[in-house]
């Protein structure tokens, strides 16, 4: 199981010299047929497994496949990443997780496909083509598994080029309206950015306005577990350095549990469920069915003696008969002259006798001694279900 989630680092090396824009070189032969372009591209993806934006020799290989518009998006993403570094929220977290992103294939385990098969090509109303590709992952003794992407192909100066990648969500939902839109490479590159600028310092400066902006993203994106990919880039600007550091340490602890579990399975090959509720929760909304709120309402704001601010939010899930209402409090602090979220309190539910107030920070540290997994003796309050 891959515990390290794909988050933000966007570092692209230029093909000529540091600080210059990436420019497409002449293709080894014009791709007049879209499927020929995609077949050649994914042959390289399977062979090289480029993680995050390709650099160095990888960038020289992949740049000729890309449209001018996509190369420009990459330039802006690099500038935005440099701006993130100047604001310096948590550089170690960026660098540790970036390697699990495969821009042409997907996030996490999807970053390293072992095989591909082109399925069909479809013409879109805007004149672009979508070439649908089945990617296969898993190396023995793992069972192979397959997922889909769609390569968006344009004709540029007489040859086909890749303009975007759609990561197709084939999960099943009870209601079609609950299914989120498929994510895109272009969204990943631009999320969290205002052109070349990292969005942190352009967020609202008033407590209610900041939290309203945050929960608009929560309702729209419904992130489960630690946000990753484009979701991470959208949510990271709202977080304090302390919260980002807690997430960094938590991921190290989760990786340590994974290492210990692999050693355990050499003696007892029975699979064990990871003991981290955070991965099955919405860090801004709550656990289980509360991971995906459909609406929110800001109720009140309170100033605390330590200088922090609590903004109380009512969240609602779906409509009757499935409607549920619960409450959280976002804890805001000032950092470098701006407000950021430092913690979230999942407030006690009066309709649940066993319910207690519980904090995101508790979930991130439960069972951990810093980056080390030490087990149940260090876990936080037990919560029944």
- Block mean pLDDT (10 aa), the chain, length 385: 36 35 43 87 94 82 95 91 76 61 87 94 93 91 89 93 95 76 90 88 93 94 84 88 91 90 80 83 87 92 96 88 88 93 91 77 93 68 36
Q: Is 350 exposed, middle or buried (0-12, 13-18, 19+ CB in 10 A)?
A: exposed
Provide the pairing of β-strand 358-359 with 338-346: antiparallel
Structure tokens at 277: 């509720």
Would you state the pLDDT for residue 58? 87
Q: Rounded distance, CA 178 to CA 172, Å?
A: 10
What values do phi and psi take at 61, rounded to 5?
-70, -45
Structure tokens at 342: 């430092």
* H-assigned helices in 52-181: 56-62, 68-87, 91-97
Q: Rounded distance, CA 239 to CA 84, Å?
A: 13
Would you state the pLDDT for residue 188? 87
Set out the domains of the chain in order of their start, with CATH numbers.
Answer: 34-194 (3.10.450.50), 241-378 (no CATH)
According to DSSP, residue 119 is labeled E
Would you state the pLDDT for residue 221? 86
Contact indicator for 191, 234 with CB cutoff of 8 Å: yes
Say how many residues make up the chain.
385
Is the torsion defined by CA of 64, 69, 75, 81 positive or negative?
negative
Would you state the pLDDT for residue 95? 57
> pTM for this one?
0.75
3-state secondary structure of 324: strand
Would you state the pLDDT for residue 92? 63
Contact indicator for 106, 184 with CB cutoff of 8 Å: no
Would you state the pLDDT for residue 10? 35
Contact indicator for 296, 214 with CB cutoff of 8 Å: no
Q: How many whole angstroms from its chain centre is CA 184?
A: 12
Q: Rounded distance, CA 261 to CA 48, Å?
A: 29
Angle at 292 between CA 233 and CA 361, to 5 degrees: 65
Q: Rounded distance, CA 76 to CA 194, Å?
A: 9
Element holding 264 (H helix, E strand): helix 241-265
Q: Rounded distance, CA 274 to CA 282, Å?
A: 17
Element holding 123 (H helix, E strand): strand 115-123
Would you state the pLDDT for residue 30? 43
Would you state the pLDDT for residue 224? 84
Residue recorded with tokens 């109303």: 125
Q: Which long-range contacts (CB under 8 A, 24 or more apart) does 167-175 make?
A: 167/106, 167/107, 167/110, 168/132
């Amino acid at each position: 199981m891959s515990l390290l989630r794909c988050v933000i680092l966007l570092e692209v090396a230029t093909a000529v010299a540091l600080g210059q824009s990436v420019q497409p070189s002449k293709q080894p032969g014009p791709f007049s047929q879209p499927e020929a372009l995609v077949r050649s591209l994914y042959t390289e993806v399977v062979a090289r497994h480029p993680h995050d934006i390709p650099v160095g020799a990888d960038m020289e290989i992949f740049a000729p496949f890309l449209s001018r518009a996509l190369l420009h998006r990459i330039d802006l993403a690099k500038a935005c990443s440099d701006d993130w570094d100047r604001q310096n929220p948590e550089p170690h977290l960026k660098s540790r997780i970036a390697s699990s992103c495969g821009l042409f294939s997907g996030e996490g385990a999807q970053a390293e496909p072992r095989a591909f098969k082109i399925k069909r090509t479809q013409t879109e109303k805007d004149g672009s083509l979508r070439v649908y590709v089945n990617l296969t992952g898993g190396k023995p003794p793992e069972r192979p598994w397959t997922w889909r992407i769609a390569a968006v192909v344009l004709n540029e100066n007489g040859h086909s080029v890749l303009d975007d990648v759609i990561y197709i969500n084939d999960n099943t939902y009870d209601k079609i309206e609950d299914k989120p839109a498929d994510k895109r490479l272009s969204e990943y590159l631009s999320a969290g950015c205002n052109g070349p600028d990292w969005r942190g310092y352009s967020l609202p400066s008033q407590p209610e306005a900041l939290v309203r902006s945050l929960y608009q993203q929560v309702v729209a994106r419904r992130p489960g577990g630690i946000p990753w990919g484009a979701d991470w880039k959208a949510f990271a600007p709202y977080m304090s350095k302390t919260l980002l550091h807690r997430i960094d340490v938590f991921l190290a602890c989760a990786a340590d549990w994974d290492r210990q579990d692999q050693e355990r399975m050499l003696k007892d090959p029975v699979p064990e469920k990871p003991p981290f509720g955070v991965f099955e929760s919405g860090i801004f909304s709550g656990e289980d069915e509360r991971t995906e709120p459909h609406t929110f309402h800001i109720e009140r704001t309170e100033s605390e003696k330590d200088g922090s601010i609590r903004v109380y939010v009512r969240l609602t899930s779906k409509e009757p008969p499935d409607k549920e209402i619960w409450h959280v409090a976002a804890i805001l602090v000032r950092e470098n002259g701006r407000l950021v979220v430092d913690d979230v309190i999942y407030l006690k539910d009066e309709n649940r006798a066993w319910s207690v107030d519980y904090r995101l920070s508790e979930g991130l540290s439960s069972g951990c001694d810093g980056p080390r997994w030490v087990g149940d003796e260090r876990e936080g309050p037990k919560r029944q279900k």
